[in-house]
Amino acid sequence: MITKRIIPCLDVKNGRVVKGVNFEGLGDVASPVELAKFYSDCGADELVFYDITASAEGRKLFTDILCELAKSVFIPLTVGGGINTLDDFDRVLKCGADKVSVNSGAIRNPSLVEEAAKRYGDQCVVLSADIKRVDGVFRVFAKGGRENTGMEAIEWIRRCVGNGAGEIVVNSIDTDGVKGGFDIEMLEAVCNAVSVPVIASGGAGSIDHFTHLFKTLPKVDAGLAASIFHFGEVKIAELKNELKKHGIPVRI
């Protein structure tokens, strides 16, 4: 039985993890390498690193650090942020990334998903979609959720899967940051539309939210979150024990 994956997400800027991270017993909480090891030891099933650097120097630093952490962390690594071309795929895959997440890059260049899937395989291409309800319709947003593309989200996701996206991260802008639970309605709509793995993101505030997610939508494959893990509000080991108690398959 395949287990449900728990995935912490780390934003990296100029080689450092941003969004406060607050852990006891961790020397340098802003070091991506130390944090990656910490999460790997806690039982994280996969790690996502978003490069939110704007400068070329920052980007170079990000790839150097990725190489460094891939030398000491042996669980799957997904990298996103600033992925606009096949060269960007190449750059991060060579440094030890296993999957590459595209968002705005796929919106700007509709053939990016297809070209990347052809070259690196479907399993390597993750489509990350920022989605928000506008007048009752799910719309895709670009540029970190600031710009409404006008595209209908389910149709967009279906098209990207048809082009070879091997996994979908559904970021609900409506529930993000609210800590009131995942966007079950939105996730269900995506799960019903595609047959590739779906990763839920946006809204987790407690262990119960993960339990509710996997019980309500057994088709969801993974839960992703950032600050609640970073601040220790939800501890991964406790979360997985609780999921196991509820009969949800997890790796412990």
Partner 1 sequence: MIAIVDYGVGNLFSLASSFAAIGAEARVTSSEADLKAADKIILPGVGAFGDAAEKLRASGLDSVIKEEATKGKPLMGICLGMQLLLEKSFEYGEHAGLGLIAGEIRPISDVIPADLKIPHIGWNALKFTKKASPLFKYINEGDHVYFVHSFYGANCDDSVIATSEYGAPLTAAVACGNVMGCQFHPEKSGNVGLNILRAFCEM
Residue type, 98: D
32 binds partner 1 (CB under 8 A): no
Closest among 53, 44, 47 to 83, alpha carbons compared: 53
The total number of residues written for the chain in this structure: 252
195 binds partner 1 (CB under 8 A): yes
Helix (H, G, I), strand (E, B) or coil at 200: strand
Q: Which residue matches tokens 């996969």?
A: 46
Least distance CB 229 / partner 1 (angstroms): 17
1 binds partner 1 (CB under 8 A): yes
Token output for 238:
């406790």
- Candidate list 45, 88, 130, 183, residue with the active-site label: 130
Question: Which secondary-structure segment (H or E) carries 128?
Answer: strand 125-134
Question: Where in 135-164 is the site for partner 1 (CB under 8 A)?
Answer: none
- Measured from the CB atom, the residue of 220 and 234 that comes closer to partner 1 is 220
- Measured from the CB atom, the residue of 124 and 184 that comes closer to partner 1 is 124
Known catalytic residue at 130: yes
Least distance CB 83 / partner 1 (angstroms): 16
Q: How many residues bind partner 1 (CB under 8 A)?
A: 29
166 binds partner 1 (CB under 8 A): yes
> What are the φ and ψ backbone dihedral angles of 100, each rounded to 5 degrees?
-125, 130
Q: Which residues contact 107 (CB under 8 A, 6 or more apart)?
A: 140, 142, 149, 151
Least distance CB 219 / partner 1 (angstroms): 8
Using the CB atoms, write b or e for 1-21: b if 16+ within 10 Å: eebbbbbbbbbbbebbbeeeb
CA distance 160 to 154: 10
- Measured from the CB atom, the residue of 180 and 218 that comes closer to partner 1 is 218
What binding mask, one character per residue, do residues 36-75 give for partner 1 by CB under 8 A, x or -?
Answer: ----x----x---------------------x--xxx-xx
The contact set with partner 1 (CB under 8 A) reads: 1-3, 5, 40, 45, 67, 70-72, 74-76, 93-96, 98, 121-123, 166-167, 195-197, 221-222, 251
Q: Which residues are catalytic?
A: 11, 130
